[in-house]
Amino acid sequence: MSCTDLKDATNNFSENNVIGQGKIGMLYKAALPSGYLFAVKKLHNCRILEEQFVLELKTLGSLRHVNLLQLLGFSITSKQWLLVYKYMPNGNLYDWLHPMEGQAKIMEWTVRFKVAIGLARGLAWLHQDCSSTIRVFHLNISSKCILLDQDFEPKLSNFGEAIIVNPTTTSPLNGEFWDTAFAKEDVYGFGVVLFII
């Protein structure tokens, strides 16, 4: 899709279409004339965030797991860098656990358990099984970056701060140290989310 198509699908990046805001960009709900829904992340400052953009493309573009948010594509112009994702109709975990006043969002314990198990599976896959040559450490796990699909299956998102470690190209001592440190940071973030759940 072109930037023009994405602009049209988000009603010119209307504030009414905003479904989230992160450190590196705004997330918009988008719709095709056919009714197909998807999400578009528009990065704030492309030049400063070039490294994060490329990292997110590399990370999400090549990895497929039921508990990772699927990157569908991207569009780049001199003024706008856009990432296109599957739309998650149930929003993020944070909004379910901390509903605004007047909202009647209640998350049953069976759903909370499903979210916890799904997040654990996604993290274990990133740390151990995503590839024989790399490990991915998210480094920014929070309830705001856990999105929920129509069946409340959790999808880990926001890989802008992720670290990709290739154990075959790092020295064993150095690589082992960083693997452990990065894994501990992800496990800590996971523990905080479990506590909140």
pTM for the whole structure: 0.85
Q: Is the pLDDT of residue 23 over 70?
A: yes
Q: What domains lie within the chain, and their CATH numbers?
A: 3-86 (3.30.200.20), 93-196 (1.10.510.10)
pLDDT value for 166: 72
Percentage of the chain surpassing pLDDT 90? 51
The pLDDT tens digits for 145-169 are: 999 999 999 999 988 788 877 766 5
The pLDDT tens digits for 51-76 are: 666 666 766 677 889 999 988 888 88
Q: Measured between alpha carbons, how far is 84 from 99 in angstroms, rounded to an integer?
A: 27
